[in-house]
Structure 1
């Protein structure tokens, strides 16, 4: 049975594209962002709903107390600030949504609300905000803090932050701009009002000095996995990205978010869940399997790469642990707690070295021809109930993008599983169109 149509997103890192093959000039020219312009245009043609731009605010040096491994592999640094890049990507496209990551721990609410209201205008209603609380002490130390606040406290701050930014976006009504030459009024002052917010964490007078955007507010994206994070996402998010392990956990996660959304008084259909995948596509199943075997053969690189991931997102220095033993039970994090719990479960009883060397960050293993992968995606959505997949490539390359947009997506489109066009003007309306 063919599932109902689902959505596609791409999780993009504004870091150096794949440079290890030595074949591409993109490794040294990517900072002008034209690589990402080509990328987002390919996504739009292929039927993607959005491209999401990840971000972090530090050069990690947690692993072994040095930034050597991080900069060797260019995992989280160097990178570009995604907020200004949104404008460039939007100018190059017509319909696709573009989501930028920004932290509630470090941005002031007024500046963020103003930046994203501006982006909503210049993208003509196609911007989204990936709400993160950040999880790294090294990032905190770039903003005058010794360490990142405690996990649940960060979500308390984020909840009030969303309250403030929403009030600011609503401080201009839809009727505020009249541009009436007869009366001489450009904007009606009775439709532009201070918010007078005084809360536990923020005092903001308002109003915003940027008019209400085409969407009213940006599409809100979140990645909550912990109980606190799930509650926050269910109350606030239009879409979530998540990496539960396997079909059963994918279904459980989506069902849980929808239940929490209903309990918060929301229509669960307004909250779309995207499961992270990283397909390996070949013209045949055998060709795809050969690509996978090539990946596994690069075990030392994979191990180092994942150690960078764990150090940056979990603030855990795995260099002090025996890599030939499993993750000790007493290892905890103030970082991404829900995701760390999932990764520990995926590692299981395997040694850190063995598990990390073969680890691919994905909810579902997708390896094969376009036909084989389309079958698996169709079956997964039928079982889980929706809503879509978010593709991840760390780092991206033109060849991998082509595998997806020119190889897999035409097969998905032929089956009617992904969109063939955009029926609405704004990102949020297109996201909710099916």
Structure 2
């Protein structure tokens, strides 16, 4: 089990029920530190902090909607040690855009965090998609989608070589001999790639994991290939149990082609459970949520604009979904929107019904939802679920203290952490 924080270290549910503490929480670690402690108590494997380097301005060609509704993000990396200080076992994953982070900087930063967290950090690889984000890093526009992933594969190769630039046993700390590090076991990498160059070696000691856990949201063919080659855990938002089953089988084939075993990659599917004391109460809550989502057409269109790079304010919402084939955005999500628009469905219908945090619908009491999760996973394969719900204190308690104990009674989630490091615990279950 994991939790996907889609706005990273940002604002959740502003001006909505159960988010009244946002003025006190914004930009401060308290909510997220409390969340980390709760999820560790619940037996979660990790928290994953998404990130972005842009104030979204595709919708309406303006930042107005984003800023008015609180779409802001703080850099998640400084939050990692603070979450680690409140916990002892749960993994903490922070996002890095491979297109913008120099490989040496990322390798050194996450090696350092591996020490600071005592072996519990992970790195989530994204290539980013908005042109505005690329412009914040000095580019005229963003790189074409598949080329971004070609660059990311080389980036990851170099980062891996930097993490391995110290041999096992290089650290001696032999006071009698006066030798701290055996210099013959530390090597430059002299990497010369198409996109990246680095002399190496790292000037940090290898971390407890040596290689922090690598996470990736592999949706498009290029993304799946990157994940199969390098990721330890993968986030998927494919829709429906048949698509989940196909995804697991496809990733298994890709992993084998890269000389890895399917068990080396833990695949978690995004969900947003709606819980209630009874099934009826949960269905009523779901209905209220759907009505609120449908009524907020502007918000739905703004979200679609961000992930696709297309300004949906320009289109008639009651006309059929426009052609999205020219998008340079998140290809798997764009393809999902296009599929949802089949049969002449209107833009309004697609925007009102499709959200990107639900591989399957989970609605009911904790017992009912746990049974739904078990049934879906037994059919589709995969390894678990990534909660994509907005982390208000109410939602955190519902999942950590309501759903998780039921899953544990069914033998579906861990009841402890047998190892010290994130990687060992992740791969052990």
> In 2, Cα distance between the equivalents of 1:166 and 1:301?
47
Per-residue CA deviation, residues 134-157 of structure 1 (Å, 9 max, x unaligned), is: 111010010111110011111111
CA contact (8 A) 1:279 1:365 kept: yes
Deviates more, 1:148-157 or 1:337-346: 337-346
Per-residue CA deviation, residues 77-130 of structure 1 (Å, 9 max, x unaligned), is: 311101111111111100000000001100000100000001111111111111
Query: How far does residue 19 in structure 1 lie from its aligned partner after superposition?
Result: 2.5
Per-residue CA deviation, residues 319-345 of structure 1 (Å, 9 max, x unaligned), is: 111111222235431111122102221
Per-residue CA deviation, residues 281-304 of structure 1 (Å, 9 max, x unaligned), is: 001011111111111221455422
TM-score by length of 2: 0.96
Q: Return structure 1 stretches of 4+ with deviation > 6 angstroms.
A: none
CA contact (8 A) 2:58 2:310 kept: yes
Structure 1 portions without partners, runs of 5+: 1-7
Residue of structure 2 in register with 1:407 after alignment: 402
- Choose the corresponding residue for 1:155, options 149, 153, 158: 149
> In 2, Cα distance between the equivalents of 1:93 and 1:102?
23
Residue of structure 2 in register with 1:11 after alignment: 4
CA contact (8 A) 2:322 2:347 kept: no
Residue of structure 1 in register with 2:113 after alignment: 119
TM-score by length of 1: 0.95
> In 2, Cα distance between the equivalents of 1:373 and 1:330?
34
- Choose the corresponding residue for 1:379, options 375, 381, 385: 375
Per-residue CA deviation, residues 393-425 of structure 1 (Å, 9 max, x unaligned), is: 2x4211111111111111111111101100111
> In 1, Cα distance between the equivalents of 2:270 and 2:194?
35
Q: Counterparts in 2 of 1:104-115, with a 5 A limit?
A: 104-115=98-109
Per-residue CA deviation, residues 56-91 of structure 1 (Å, 9 max, x unaligned), is: 0000111011111112222xx311101111111111
CA contact (8 A) 2:14 2:69 kept: no
Report how many residues are paired: 424
SS at match of 1:412: helix
- Report the CA distance shift for 1:68/1:50 in structure 2 as closer, same or farther (over 3 A): same
> In 2, Cα distance between the equivalents of 1:57 and 1:305?
20
CA contact (8 A) 2:307 2:334 kept: no
1:360 equivalent in alignment to 2:358: no
Residue of structure 1 in register with 2:269 after alignment: 275
1:431 equivalent in alignment to 2:426: yes
1:420 equivalent in alignment to 2:415: yes
- Report the CA distance shift for 1:422/1:360 in structure 2 as closer, same or farther (over 3 A): same
Query: How far does residue 316 in structure 1 lie from its aligned partner after superposition?
Result: 1.1
Query: How far does residue 28 in structure 1 lie from its aligned partner after superposition?
Result: 4.0
CA contact (8 A) 1:276 1:391 kept: yes
- Choose the corresponding residue for 1:174, options 168, 179, 199: 168
SS at match of 1:99: strand
CA contact (8 A) 2:337 2:354 kept: no
Residue of structure 2 in register with 1:3 after alignment: none
Residue of structure 1 in register with 2:384 after alignment: 388
Structure 2 portions without partners, runs of 5+: none
Tell me: higher relative CO, structure 1 or 2? Use CA pairs within 8 A at least 6 residues apart. Answer: 1
> In 1, Cα distance between the equivalents of 2:226 and 2:143?
17
> In 2, Cα distance between the equivalents of 1:122 and 1:388?
28
> In 1, Cα distance between the equivalents of 2:95 and 2:174?
38
- Report the CA distance shift for 1:277/1:27 in structure 2 as closer, same or farther (over 3 A): farther
SS at match of 2:332: helix
Please tell me the root mean square deviation across aligned C-alpha atoms, in Å.
1.4
SS at match of 1:244: coil
